[in-house]
Amino acid sequence: MLKNIFGRHKDNKSADKTKEKTVISEFIGWLKDNKWNVISKEEKAGIGSNEVLRNFKNLPLTWKNLAEQYSIIENEGQTVCFLCAADYNAKPDGEFQWNEFETISLNAAIGDAKWAEEIKKWWSDKLPIVMSVRNGYSFYAIDTGKGKGAIIRGQEPEFEDAKAVAEDFDSFLKKVIGGDIAL
């Protein structure tokens, strides 16, 4: 706990929540200013009850709150979207899945068990959070493994040849707002 200027103890968690709400508010404002389709949910979707998301440890609180509070975040042309909590549920065959790019890579590795295992291992701690079909397939993901929360970007043809673009999710949002990362 920290002391404020009046000598009262201040809870760090409440300061973190205020910061997180500010980043999300700024980001949502940026999205709307840039004509993105942003639809909030009436009721928060619980990430903890999602079978896919439970497998990923140490997901950033800001990302969790964003994913829980919105049902759709997509650009005007519907070619780039932020994945929201419900997007990690199974979808009917033929619809884009949250792990579509892993599936494409695994299809390319059919007949090569070692390569397929390497692909599965690589994706096991990467959670896609943004998917794009504009100018080819690409994604942004949270690297929950050795990247310790870094945001990475991958693109076809080698999705697994991804590079870090931000040290964490809050920095990622700030870079998007500031124009350093173009979605």
pLDDT tens by residue, 110-144: 999 999 999 999 999 999 999 999 999 999 999 99
At residue 95, the pLDDT reads 83
Counting as low any pLDDT under 70, the low residues of the chain are: 1-21, 44-45
Integer Cα distance of 22 and 39 in angstroms: 18
**How many C-beta neighbours within 10 Å does residue 109 have?**
16
User: ω into residue 157 within 30 of 0, thus cis?
Assistant: yes
CATH numbers and ranges of domains, the chain: 14-178 (3.40.1580.10)
CA atoms within 13 A on the CB side of 132: 17
With CA atoms as reference, report the closest residue to 12 among 85, 61, 75, 65. Answer: 61
